[in-house]
């Protein structure tokens, strides 16, 4: 029997991004179960590293996904028209790269940490990976 694969998706709470990113992760990484960790503007929260209570909540849920579900992939999502992080795409992409480096320092035992952009047409594009 094949072992089912999990991924950890740190995504905005915006419902418009949920289905596109889950489908993308399943199709591109052969994931069976995408664990979704949502927050309003998580890229900004993680990059700024100021809201310790929110970062703690993200880490708490990430711990469960990685350590209990066996997730080997973390995907961080930035997106068009984000109410929680209403910055231009260029700013969000800089935040995304900074946030990925911070997540790497959290030392989760995963194979990849991937940063993606969900654009105006709700299509997912991989930006970078660690």
**Minimal CA–CA distance to 107: which of 44, 62, 57, 69?**
62
Q: Which domain range does residue 30 map to? A: 6-129
Determine which helix (DSSP H) or strand (DSSP E) holds 73, and give its type and residue range.
strand 73-79
CATH number at residue 14: 3.40.1050.10
CA distance 74 to 65: 9
pLDDT in tens, 1-14: 567 899 999 999 99
Q: How far is residue 48's CA from residue 70's CA, in Å, rounded to a whole number?
A: 28
The pLDDT value recorded for residue 3 is 74
Q: Does residue 86 have a pLDDT over 90?
A: yes
pLDDT tens column, 105-122 = 999 999 999 999 999 999
Mean pLDDT over the full length of the chain: 96
Within a domain: 24: yes
Whether the pLDDT of residue 34 is over 70: the answer is yes
Which contiguous run of DSSP H or E holds residue 10?
strand 6-12
Number of domains in the chain: 1
């Amino acid at each position: 029997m094949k072992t089912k694969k999990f991924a950890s998706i740190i995504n905005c709470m915006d419902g418009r991004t949920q289905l596109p990113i889950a489908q993308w992760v399943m199709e591109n990484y052969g994931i069976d179960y995408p664990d979704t960790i949502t927050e309003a503007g998580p890229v900004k929260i993680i990059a700024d590293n100021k809201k310790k209570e929110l970062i703690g909540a993200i880490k708490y849920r990430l711990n469960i996904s990685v350590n209990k579900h066996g997730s080997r992939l973390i995907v961080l999502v930035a997106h068009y028209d984000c109410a929680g992080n209403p910055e231009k795409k260029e700013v969000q992409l800089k935040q995304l790269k900074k946030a990925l480096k911070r997540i790497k320092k959290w030392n989760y035992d995963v194979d990849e940490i991937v940063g993606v952009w969900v654009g105006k047409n709700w299509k997912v594009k991989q930006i970078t990976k660690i």
